[in-house]
Amino acid sequence: MRLRSGVFASSCLLVEALGVALFLRGFFPLPVRSLPRREARGDPPAEPAPPGPGMVSNWTEIPSPLFKKVVIVLIDALRDDFVFGSKGKQFMPYTTQVVEKGTSYSFIAEVKPPTVTMPRIKALMTGSVPGFIDVIVNLNSPALLDDNLIWQAKTAGKRIIFYGDDTWVKLFPKHFVEYDGTTSFFVSDFTEVDDNVTRHLDRVLKREDWDLLILHYLGLDHIGHVTGPNSPLVGPKLREMDNILKKIHISLLSKEEASLPNLLVVCGDHGMSETGSHGGSSEGEVHTPLLFISSAFEKRSDPGYEHFKIAEKSHGNWIKLYLEGNNSEILLNLGKKVLKQYLEALKTLSSSLSKQVAQYDMYSMMVGTVIIMEVLLLLLLSIPKALSSQAEFEVPLSPPLFSLLFYLMCLMLCAVHIIVCTSAESLCYFCSMSWLTAVGVMMLISALMCGILSAIAKIFENSRLPLKNPVVSSSSWSEIDVLILAGTIGHVLSLGASSFIEEEHQTWYFLINTLCLALCQELCRNNFLLKESDPQHSTTGKQNFDSIGEASEYKNIDIPAAGNLKLGKATSSAEFIKGSDKWISLASPWIILICCRLLRSLNQTGVQWAHRPDFGHWLTSSEHIAELSFLAAVSLLTIFFLVQRRCSLVSKIAMALGLLGVYSYRAAIGNVIFPWQHDSKDISKGITEARFVYVFVLGIVFTGTKDLLKSQVISADSSVKSTGLWEVYNGLVLLAALLFRPHNLPVLVFCLLIQTMMTRYIWRPLKFDAARITVMHYWFGQAFFYFQGNSNGIATVDVSAGFVGLESYVEIPAIFLTAFATYSGPLLWAIHLLCYLSSEVSRNSAAVGHGCFCYALMRSIPVAVYIVLVTGLRYHLFIWSVFSPKLLYEGVHVFITVAICLFFTAMDQNHSHKVED
């Protein structure tokens, strides 16, 4: 069966996506006792198993209660400095007074990543360390069936009331005698989400029919997501929380009895980074206050604490004597014994903790890894044929699928599957799949292996044959080729170090800077050295620069004929190399370097230097809103100027109105101001303005889609298809402008500017092939991913982008908008690659297929290697804080790349009958 390169690459990526999904399912296994929500609705949670034979309980009777009523106030994203720092003294005076008065025990709790809501609630209620997969499960929380405080309280007959984040209702169904849940994902809501909790307080505090009251406030977290921790909205929200705590505390004190006091617990589920997000392990995210407020804590004399201080002092004296060289035999032996006990205890604790926290499904991981590695090997073996001038090759399906080796491999893998699934001690996801699905996966693995062996045999067979065209094989590697190979290998090898993953943006910045220098060298050689040494190349150079012009009617005019046309466009194109555009071409790499340097100073990312101030922080501060407004307006105007030349008249009007709507939306939510505004007090959600922009986005994309369908179905016109692709690209640019925060709009401007300069003054003059151009697009796409302010930590994901224009939380649109905003850089560069290669079909009919294959290969290499590295480092100290978030990013990027390559394949029309000359 003959396949084009694009179809083959897309098929391989689909199979690879299956392997990645299977590996992720094994690497992040769901807890065994966490059931889907629909299953948990039927029956109440099962009671914990009774003690086994030979085991007895320490309790002979239920101890008497220490408190009459307990109120837990969980303030989402409450950082420790919001209570104990300067903001606490300024905006939470009552809470600060209670802490300083001595009627409370206050702590700074250190939470463990991932610092998102649902895992932190599980940790607070169960006392266990949740798994990293809870980051994904956080979107649709299953019922919690592990032993927890809520279940124990209900079993003891306590009446529990809850108001706030509906994650609690999903985790503990049928546990509350009264509840009112609010969605936690609509981050544009700052007030109503908390008012829905507070409106119950006056009524509940007067009642006596409850024992435990839980309140979960979300407004502070939402403010952080949208405006950051330094927003002027944080202070009023903290003051609101302080007044609520004051009301609750005074009410509890007024109802205390002489025998039993009441208890107020104030805590946060996690903190907040300097950008307002959370999910990572920065200091602001992992440190949150924990306050126990009660009249029972007025007396601080605790005999247990005194005993601890005495023991600590004795231990210190013993260590001091030991270090001073005391030669007592008893002391020496005792020291060795204590040291040995410490080491054994640490080893046991480490092993126990690893088994509890890191419960890997190794069988599913290995099956996924095998599929991914087979796909990568198949892509590597197919490079010569896939990148040939015809961009299609014969895929031998019949011989491998009907060979004895295929059936033997299937039988062997099925036997291994039976042995593993019957002897597995823990639940294995791959074993829980139906036998039909499992056998299908085994046949897929066997077919891939047979295809690899067939490709290897064909390579050896071809190597023995004499070369029909020895000129073709004598190709030499240029500096660009060496740089691409060395950069790809170097980046892949760097993924084995945690520090390089944390600072991966530095790797991509270095690679694109080096690429610009190499392009500068290539341009100098093309314009000066080769021109003087090779007259024939001089004519070729003139033709190269002639292709820069927009008019295509002079493309086929030869240079001597063009020299006879006076004051004509052909003459100016032929002499283009001697004009000003020659120097613009030579200056282009340096201009791109300057743009990249400016973008680096806009957003500090990574871990080591993320705390340092950057231009983005300066712009987003409240006192610089005028400067931010001016920069946003100039950026939107520049975006229109850069994209309007490729738009039809209707699309130009839609683009202009859409960009005006973007500014209006940001003004409505208070990010920027209009010149006639004196303040930004009238802040709204901007629902109308955002939907106004969505209308124009859909209109532009629909116009482009209509042209694409016309070119694919009605008439195979490459110009119509190219116009449709640019329309789709412009629609995505408008969507990105809407979702980007105002200070990030220059990232979009520089993206368009660099694409324009490289297209007009670098790629076309140098006549690079599709493979090199694809790698350059991929590199710049990765760099712009980090220019946006992203990192390999979950905390940098801008969740607020998923709720632009939404009145309530809608799962699918929110996920799509968040993913698009996060991966806008790679997506825009990938779509621009398709637009550029489609315009080059007249020069190379296989350009789109080559681009699709190279893009799939560039994505497959780091994913395959990183999965092997993560498997080997699964017990590393930083596996959950560094390697696991990166693994999630890589997995999502693979799924996005599958969609990109499928779009490439749909647009790849190989009109071989047009390329006969």
Max avg pLDDT among 310-314, 434-438, 608-612: 434-438
The pair of three-digit structure tokens given for residue 374, joined into one six-digit string: 């087979």
Q: What is the mean pLDDT of residues 392-407?
A: 68
Q: What is the DSSP letter of 109?
A: E
Rg (CA), the chain: 32
The pLDDT of residue 597 is 93
Q: Are 459 and 382 in contact (CB under 8 A)?
A: no
The pLDDT of residue 653 is 93
Mean residue pLDDT across the chain: 80
The pair of three-digit structure tokens given for residue 742, joined into one six-digit string: 């105002």
Q: Tell me how many degrees the CA angle 409-414-419 measures, rounded to the nearest 5.
A: 125
Round to whole Å and give the CA distance between 375 and 369.
Answer: 10
Round to whole Å and give the CA distance between 359 and 31.
Answer: 9
Confidence of residue 466 (pLDDT cuts 50, 70, 90): low
Round to whole Å and give the CA distance between 122 and 845.
Answer: 57
Round to whole Å and give the CA distance between 107 and 292.
Answer: 9
* Residue (of 766, 745, 687, 756) closest to 519 by Cα position: 766
Residue-wise pLDDT tens digits, 856-908: 999 999 999 999 999 998 888 788 888 989 999 999 999 999 999 999 998 88
The pair of three-digit structure tokens given for residue 191, joined into one six-digit string: 């007030």
Ramachandran area for residue 499 (φ above 0: left; ψ -120 to 50: alpha; else beta)? alpha
Residue-wise pLDDT tens digits, 629-673: 999 999 999 999 999 888 888 889 999 999 999 999 999 888 888
Round to whole Å and give the CA distance between 115 and 280.
Answer: 6
Query: Which residues 6+ apart lie within 8 Å of 260 measured at CB?
Result: 65, 66, 67, 68
Among 214-218, 227-231, 442-446, 778-782, the range scoring the smallest mean pLDDT is: 227-231
Q: 830: exposed, middle or buried (C-beta count within 10 Å: 0-12, 13-18, 19+)?
A: buried
Q: Which residues pair with 216 in a beta bridge?
A: 74
Residue-wise pLDDT tens digits, 809-848: 788 888 899 999 999 999 999 999 999 998 876 667 788 8
Confidence of residue 732 (pLDDT cuts 50, 70, 90): very high
Round to whole Å and give the CA distance between 601 and 614.
Answer: 6
Higher pLDDT, 186 or 309: 186
Round to whole Å and give the CA distance between 223 and 233.
Answer: 7
H helix or E strand, kind and range, residue 216:
strand 212-217
* Residue 392 pLDDT greater than 60, yes or no: yes
Q: What is the mean pLDDT of residues 456-478?
A: 65
